[in-house]
Structure 1
Amino acid sequence: MSKPVVNFITGNANKLLEVRAILEPAGIEVRNQALDLPEVQGTVEDVTTEKCRAAAAAVGGPVLVEDTCLCFDALNGLPGPYIKWFMQSIGHVGLNNLLAAYDDKSAQAVATFGFCKGPGQEVLLFQGRTHGKIVPPRGPTTFGWDPCFEYEGQTYAEMDKVEKNKISHRFKALEKLRAWIEGGGIKE
């Protein structure tokens, strides 16, 4: 039996490393293509679904895409799917400043993967959430908002990569994808 293969559409080298570190030990080959895809406004599910449809049309075949959110409970889920733009605009310090007036610093890291078999096909979503809190940045600043998201006393940036990949929002979503693939999902 041949090894299952996914074509992960991302230009983010850190995301690609994490996805490979989580899926490849399960026997799933992760290929990669970087495409500039439009990001619509809406819920994380809307954003991921539309990104997946656009990628499947551009590639002309099966694709896997991901959208990551950072949802502040005090702000009713914002910045949510717009975290990339918030990071580019206000950075780690600005993220903390958004919550300065609130006692509630709780947040959810959310990863939503979309898989589509090709143009015009249904988009399947696999979502994982990790509950934590927003803190002043600690640890290396090499991967997005990881220095500001604390889970059980450590920020994602302070964690060993292997340990992070056992508890992260991305891991939880990819576990659902892996189970679907192992159940014959890609071959259906």
Structure 2
Amino acid sequence: MKKQITFITGNENKAREAQEILHPIKVKISDIGYPEIQDKIENVATNGAENAFKRLKKPLIVEDSGLFIDAYNGFPGPYSSYVHQTIKNKGILELMKNQKNRDCHFKSIVAYIDKDTTKIFKGKVVGKIAHQQKGKHGFGYDPIFIPKNKNKTFGQMDMEAKNQLSHRRKALKKLDHWLKKQ
């Protein structure tokens, strides 16, 4: 079993979540960055992991995720970060104003790489776009995403409740299960 994995991220909350799930493996954070290609998130994460591995030469993970809205054929998907930076949640709510179909999902891809293996792990959480922003917890689209069978947005949930449903957690749990078999 690996003793340490480097998580290529600048987000300490993501690293903390990974450490909790992957324990006893030590998760080291590195914000070395990587070029983000414009492609489906599976390819963004894999390309980022391969790029980082060429420089660090040690086992590492890269996580990429997105919000996929059914009524807009999965938009913003791989462009979620850019869309959030430009039109924010307010812009998504404006797009959804007259939409009856508010179904969507978050998807997370964790790409793992070492000298012998490149593997991806997927996590998904299904839900709906809220009619208005609610809650101050989390980040990004959390205040407008209501997970299936829940009546609160991720933004209204504390981190522990949100993390139990999280798409990232699901992907990291799959990685953890696979690592324990190695």
Task: Tell me the TM-score normalised to structure 1 length.
Answer: 0.88
Tell me the matched-pair count.
179
Aligned to 1:106: 103
Counterpart CA distance in 1 for 2:125 and 2:114 is: 28
Deviation at 1:3, TM superposition (A): 6.5
Counterpart of 2:4, as a letter, is V
The unaligned stretches of length 5 or more in structure 2 are none
2:75 to 60, 73, 78: 78
1:165 to 159, 163, 166: 163
Decide whether the 8 Å contact of 1:14 with 1:143 is kept in 2.
no
Question: Which whole-Å deviations, capped at 9, do the CAs of 1:20-49 have from their partners, x for residues lacking one?
Answer: 23333xx22211100121110111111111
Deviation at 1:122, TM superposition (A): 4.2
1:64 to 41, 52, 61: 61
Counterpart CA distance in 2 for 1:72 and 1:59 is: 36
Aligned to 1:13: 12
Counterpart CA distance in 2 for 1:21 and 1:42 is: 30
Aligned to 1:143: 139
Decide whether the 8 Å contact of 1:4 with 1:181 is kept in 2.
no
Decide whether the 8 Å contact of 2:21 with 2:176 is kept in 1.
no
Deviation at 1:145, TM superposition (A): 1.4
Q: What is the identity percentage for the equivalent residue pairs of Structure 1 and Structure 2? A: 35
Deviation at 1:123, TM superposition (A): 2.1
Decide whether the 8 Å contact of 2:57 with 2:114 is kept in 1.
no
Counterpart of 2:16, as a letter, is L
Counterpart of 1:134, as a letter, is I
RMSD: 1.7
Deviation at 1:5, TM superposition (A): 1.9
Counterpart CA distance in 2 for 1:171 and 1:150 is: 17
Question: Which whole-Å deviations, capped at 9, do the CAs of 1:124-163 have from their partners, x for residues lacking one?
Answer: 1000000011112111165221111111111112112122
Aligned to 1:34: 31
The unaligned stretches of length 5 or more in structure 1 are none
Structure 1 stretches of 4+ with a deviation exceeding 6 A read none
Which is worse superposed, 66-75 or 131-140?
Answer: 131-140
Counterpart of 1:47, as a letter, is V
Matched, 1:23 2:22: yes
